[in-house]
Chain A
């Protein structure tokens, strides 16, 4: 494959998987935040 062709293919692959990775990472961070919040609320209920 010529270098020019490879540049476009590489850019396409990177963009495709980067979007999936970024979305998966966002989901992971959201889940961590939710679990922390769940623990906090559980402790709050137990105290009462």
Chain B
């Protein structure tokens, strides 16, 4: 059943990306046929997907701290790993966009710096997990770091409103931006949905590996008990 859901989600994700690419290249007005827009159709959904993952990890970490159930911790770790991949896409496509639009790869403004900090916090989360062997201590410290990381996610989101940044101000209508033409925003949300589908598949694969690891651990304990 789980395998079927995974294949279905993967097919839905690939189908949505293909459909969005078709819309972006062949249906949208000519104004959208420039690098500034087309990179945006990956850059923004990647950030939304990463933030969705980080927020999910926050909820799961809270659930772990509340219940002490290590399954929530394992799921949070899987979600953070996948979200970090999408955060990397966001950062690198952002750098390519910056090189195109500003002529530079990077600038230390509030949005870019806080996003890099966010990436480093969650990379630190994964490094921390490798450094601690004791499962309960690892889960507790990771949960605190996931909560701290989510504070930075909020800062990243609001930074373009709070500070005068080189990064563009909000352009999406959901943030009262209105900087994009009619119909040109929609592919961003479809790509977000596509990335969420693919991200969910990756988390499910990651969870399957977690189950195999647990089985290996229990078999090892059994072997030592003889």
| Contact-residue size bin, chain A (C-beta under 8 Å from the other chain) | 20 to 34
Whether A8 lies near B96 (C-beta < 8 A) is yes
15 residue pairs from A and B, CB less than 8 Å apart: A5-B35, A8-B35, A8-B99, A9-B35, A9-B38, A12-B35, A12-B97, A15-B92, A24-B202, A34-B212, A34-B213, A41-B216, A41-B220, A44-B223, A45-B223
Give the docked Cα–Cα distance between A26 and B188 (Å): 27
Question: Measured between alpha carbons, how far is A35 from B215 in the docked complex, in Å?
Answer: 10
> Given A16-B42, A31-B208, A34-B209, does the pair A11, B219 have CB atoms closer than 8 Å?
no
B93 within 8 A of A: yes
Binding site for B on A (CB under 8 A): 1, 4-6, 8-9, 11-13, 15-16, 19-20, 23-24, 27, 30-31, 34-35, 37-38, 41-42, 44-45, 48
In the bound complex, residues from chain A placing their C-beta under 8 Å from that of B82 are 23
Q: Given contacts A8-B96, A12-B93, A16-B46, is CB(A41)–CB(B205) below 8 Å? A: no
B92 interface neighbour in A19, A45, A48, Cβ under 8 Å: A19
B74 at the interface (CB under 8 A from A): no
Number of interface residues of B (CB under 8 A): 33
How long is the Cα–Cα vector from A15 to B100 in the complex, in angstroms? 15
Smallest CB-CB separation from B21: which chain A residue? A13
Residues of A within 8 A of B85 (CB): 19-20, 23
CA distance A30 to B212 in the complex (A): 11
Give the distance in Å from the alpha carbon of A24 to the alpha carbon of B14 in the complex: 14
B93 touching A42, Cβ below 8 Å: no
Report A32 CB to chain B, min CB distance, Å: 10
Q: Which of A9, A19, A34 has the most CB of B within 10 A?
A: A9
A8-B39, A12-B97, A41-B220 known; A20-B89 Cβ under 8 A: yes
Find B96's partner among A4, A11, A37, A48 (CB 8 Å cutoff): A11
